Structure 1
Amino acid sequence: PGVTIILRDFEDFDNDVVGTARSFSSSSSSSSSSPVVVISDSPPYPPLPFPEEGVRVVVLRRDLRFSPVLNDPRLFLRTRHVAIVPDRTRNPGVVGLLEKLRDTVEQSGGATRVAVAGVTEGGSPTFSLRCFHLHVDPRRWTLRYTADTGDTGGRCGAVESSRVVLLLRTRDLLSLPFPFSRPFPDAIFIQAALRGWGVQILGGGDYFPAVPLPPLNPHAAWKAQNLREKRREKLMKDLGVKLEVFEGGKERWFGCNRDTPRCFGTIQEGTPQYLLEGRWTPPCCLRGLRETAKHVVGVLESSGVRYWLEGGSLLGALRLGDIIPWDYDVDLGFYREDAGKCRWLREAEEEGGRRGGVEDDEGFVWEKAPQGEGGVYRVYWSRTNRLHVDLWPFYPRDGGVMTRDEWTGHPQDVEFPEIFLRPRIPLPFAGFTAMSPNNPRKFLQLKFGEGAIEKPQYPNP
């Protein structure tokens, strides 16, 4: 029986966690007191004068000198339910509010696993809690928030406020892979949404009171904001999230960009590691590939180089008008004799990979691969981020067949009749228009066999 209060989201340099703990703990005079567990990443500094009775402080950071048992909050959560309470919240002083939250969970028949109540300063609330649907897509590394349409019986995936009390069964909290991660409450909402847990706001206008938050000085405000951003970045890394999409289309990215390495390492045997983990190409990497492909196509077209979508990129264009969701590069073929028309292809050929490629005016790096890699040219998103477009040089031999001097041994690496390129046709691809063989379906049948378009396959199925 009972509810354990968890205090987790507070700052060492500015908090009222002692007052919050006193308000709820058994040391208070309230008839609705509860055991309190304060969870901190490191020992609070300066030290805080918590009550000796009814409050347990658990430091998550392990210390070589002490048993790790002392760093495990699970050992101190002995009640059936827990309530995660934000700093500066106060016990209402009457029996009922925590019980209402508990009943919301227990009387739902399993439909509600997380009950939510707001926190307000100074009497009656001047706002209402807003509900959102939250879709977690691990395969695409993405979170998507959408407006509540009112068709789920008052249940939702997330609440638009950080000043809320959450109540759930202790066993449910401890079943989460990151039960004590910050920022609160988003870390709980995201993990709950992935499991399909219902989140319900307590009705009836019931709110927990709170003491006002005094204004922070500029340095403390900067420090708090910086910590919030770092915690959110760490949470998204732990959860495997690269992109948040909010109502209205606003995006927040956590993956790679031009100034950081790509999100995956060297590809082994044609299969990226993320596929083996049940995921597709991270959205930040797809963004980089789209940007690089659009740039390369623009340069080739302005230079008069005849090119076309090749291989998996052509497959993606026909299926989706985009890059295949699990692909890790973009493939273009081009007429080898046109290479001299493009300044960057010429310079890459002359440079021969000795200095790591040639950087163009927009920061993309053009490189001629070493011998033995099929004679390919590569254009990288940047020197740091090696997402790239492969440019395969073909030329017509006797009999009107397009061929190359070097082959990679890939099954799709075959000669084909030049008639496919006379003429080339435009196709939508990755947010722009690129040129394609004139009978792309038949071209792909030649490369991949029957049914390649209609029956998507991972590499090395």
Structure 2
Amino acid sequence: MRITPCQAALAAAIALNLLVLLCSLLAPTAAPPSSSSSSSSSSSCRHPAALPGVTVILRDFPDGPNHDVAATARSFSSLPGVPVLVATEVAPYPPVPLPAGVTVLPLRPQPHRPPPRPDSAVRTLHVALVPDGARAVPGLLRRMRDALEASSDATTKVVAAAVGTLRPRCLALDVDIKAWTARYGHADPGADTCGALDGAPAVLLLRTRDLFSLPFPLTRPVATSVSLQAALRGWRLRLLPDSFPLAPRPPLSPHEQWKAQNSLEKQRRTLLELFGIKLEVLADGQRRWHGCAKDTPRCFGTIHAQTPQYLLAGRWTPPCCLRALRATARHVVAELEAAGVRYWLEGGSLLGAVRLGDIIPWDYDVDLGLYRDDLPKCRWLAAVLATGRPLEDPEGFFWEKAAEGEFFRVHFSRTNRLHVDLWPFYARPDGLMTKDTWLGHRQDVEFPESFLVPLVPVAFAGIAAKAPNDPRAFLELKFGPGAIENPEYPNPGVRRLAQDAQREPPR
């Protein structure tokens, strides 16, 4: 049978339309192609778009044999049309038989495999992060999804439901990245949303695009990780009155309880270190510190160009470091005063005392001047002078002569080198105070001894320390007019305070 040109054209048109229809069915929500990509978009089908429904991800489960992954996965995979993923760096071990259709989602990169893409494994519009031991309730995931989509508050991005008979507490949460601090508080009793959950496990449900817009979407502990990242974005969390059952388990032995608690604490420490959180202020006012112990190194390296590396990241001095510096300054001042050494606050430390009564929030050490003739009065300085070797005092502070020149340092400990610098000055015949080592800092200038006669007390780091008798004139001689009223970083040529004072872009 002979096909006419008209019939051939008609058949080609029908085939083309069928191809376009097939592509549109596979990608119903794809955006129209732009003019720059229309040719490539029309020539091939896109990946399927997200589908209605909820994917369950099991992420928070204990390491070792005391987990409930298989039973939890079996419970949720029994729900019609609910995909279940077990997200883990290492497959659960000892090995457990996972139900048919449950997929292990590896998170650890392997040299012989493509990099992990957990977002590509989720095909649904919503995702539920389910803790170990939870049991499914028919319809509850759908109600959580409906509650999220029905919310009139655009900042409500997470819906939660308790697991077990205990309900988590709803807390307020503020994360200050610049200050390395997370502050928890009591949530407003009249509000139906909060910033974080505490005290009991919960299922968290989010839109898939929101979860995977987070830089650390599946970092454990999941509830803490999501809450901290949500707080930085102004997201809110809504806790529903519904709950999922918690499977009964045999009681753990004391050793198993210790291992479980130790593992959870290790996860928290790793998470907070990853996020750069050094201080948690709890709702009851208690403080949890992370870093700057006597037996840990300080959390920043050698300072170059008077600019700590954290300043370049838009952060100020970690609060645990400020706490250690205060403790060191109070100890040194007490030793000097007990020995009758004439000392005074110098440089940026005096600036902090006059402005704030404390260390400047971005300063990384404390500077004290003292009379060189008084060095032998302090037993620790006298011992360093006599032996040429550093020494540790009974309270664990470490005294030494600085390698950079004729001055001394007192460190928070032998290991943690947060320190107070002690600068020996002496009077020249013309009445100017001078010293033998100058490091080229802006405040390194000679000054009249009259500033030190007499010395006066000033509030600093929780104590009354000694200061020059005219602090304003002394500081303006060192730093220039307006030094007190116009704060600036130590080296504005590298980074200026104004760079961090600018408003962050809206989220």
CA contact (8 A) 1:162 1:185 kept: no
Measured after TM superposition, the shift of residue 150 of structure 1 is: 3.3
Please report the TM-score for the alignment, with normalisation by the length of structure 2.
0.84
Equivalent position of 2:53 in the other structure: 2
1:312 and 2:359 matched: no
Measured after TM superposition, the shift of residue 396 of structure 1 is: 1.6
Name the aligned partner's letter for residue 394 of structure 1.
F
Greater alpha carbon shift after TM alignment, 99-108 vs 179-188: 99-108
- Give, in whole Å, the separation in 1 of the partners of 2:117 and 2:373: 67
- How do 1:42-441 residues align onto structure 2 when only pairs under 5 Å count? 42-53=90-101, 55-64=102-111, 66-68=112-114, 71-93=116-138, 95=139, 97-109=140-152, 110-120=154-164, 125=165, 127-150=166-189, 153-202=191-240, 205-352=241-388, 355=389, 357-370=390-403, 373=405, 375-441=406-472
CA contact (8 A) 1:139 1:278 kept: yes
- Give, in whole Å, the separation in 1 of the partners of 2:143 and 2:473: 65
- Give, in whole Å, the separation in 2 of the partners of 1:18 and 1:57: 11
- Give, in whole Å, the separation in 2 of the partners of 1:83 and 1:119: 13
Specify the SS of the correspondent of 2:212. Answer: helix
**Offset from partner CA, 1:97-119 (integer Å, 9 cap, x none):** 21221122222242200111111
Measured after TM superposition, the shift of residue 366 of structure 1 is: 1.3
CA contact (8 A) 1:119 1:208 kept: yes
Unaligned runs of 5+ in 2: 1-51, 493-507
CA contact (8 A) 1:83 1:168 kept: yes
Name the aligned partner's letter for residue 172 of structure 1.
D
- Give, in whole Å, the separation in 2 of the partners of 1:83 and 1:208: 12
Deviation beyond 6 Å, 4+ runs, structure 1 = none
Greater alpha carbon shift after TM alignment, 134-143 vs 15-24: 15-24
- Give, in whole Å, the separation in 1 of the partners of 2:125 and 2:365: 51
Please report the TM-score for the alignment, with normalisation by the length of structure 1.
0.92
- Give, in whole Å, the separation in 1 of the partners of 2:344 and 2:263: 48
- Give, in whole Å, the separation in 1 of the partners of 2:307 and 2:387: 30
CA contact (8 A) 2:72 2:135 kept: yes
Name the aligned partner's letter for residue 421 of structure 2.
D
CA contact (8 A) 1:158 1:199 kept: yes
Equivalent position of 2:48 in the other structure: none
CA contact (8 A) 1:79 1:170 kept: yes
- Give, in whole Å, the separation in 2 of the partners of 1:85 and 1:410: 55
- Give, in whole Å, the separation in 1 of the partners of 2:317 and 2:158: 32
- Give, in whole Å, the separation in 2 of the partners of 1:37 and 1:438: 69
Name the aligned partner's letter for residue 347 of structure 1.
A
Name the aligned partner's letter for residue 104 of structure 1.
A
In the alignment, which of 6, 24, 28 is matched to residue 76 of structure 2? 24
Name the aligned partner's letter for residue 362 of structure 1.
E
Aligned length: 439
CA contact (8 A) 1:351 1:358 kept: no
Equivalent position of 2:480 in the other structure: 449
CA contact (8 A) 1:322 1:430 kept: yes
Specify the SS of the correspondent of 1:135. Answer: strand
- Give, in whole Å, the separation in 2 of the partners of 1:243 and 1:117: 28
Name the aligned partner's letter for residue 89 of structure 1.
A
Specify the SS of the correspondent of 2:326. Answer: helix
- Give, in whole Å, the separation in 2 of the partners of 1:165 and 1:46: 25
- Give, in whole Å, the separation in 2 of the partners of 1:162 and 1:256: 30
Measured after TM superposition, the shift of residue 75 of structure 1 is: 2.0
Equivalent position of 2:66 in the other structure: 14
Measured after TM superposition, the shift of residue 33 of structure 1 is: 4.7
% of aligned pairs identical? 58
**Offset from partner CA, 1:134-186 (integer Å, 9 cap, x none):** 110111111110111336x3221101234101000101111111111111211
**Offset from partner CA, 1:272-310 (integer Å, 9 cap, x none):** 101011111111111111111000000000000000000
Specify the SS of the correspondent of 1:4. Answer: strand
Greater alpha carbon shift after TM alignment, 394-403 vs 426-435: 394-403
Specify the SS of the correspondent of 2:87. Answer: strand
Unaligned runs of 5+ in 1: none
Instruction: Please say which structure displays the higher CA radius of gyration.
Output: 2
Name the aligned partner's letter for residue 180 of structure 1.
L
Measured after TM superposition, the shift of residue 350 of structure 1 is: 2.2
CA contact (8 A) 2:162 2:200 kept: no
Measured after TM superposition, the shift of residue 369 of structure 1 is: 2.0
- Give, in whole Å, the separation in 1 of the partners of 2:217 and 2:200: 17
- Give, in whole Å, the separation in 1 of the partners of 2:437 and 2:302: 22
In the alignment, which of 89, 95, 119 is matched to residue 41 of structure 1? 89
Specify the SS of the correspondent of 1:185. Answer: helix
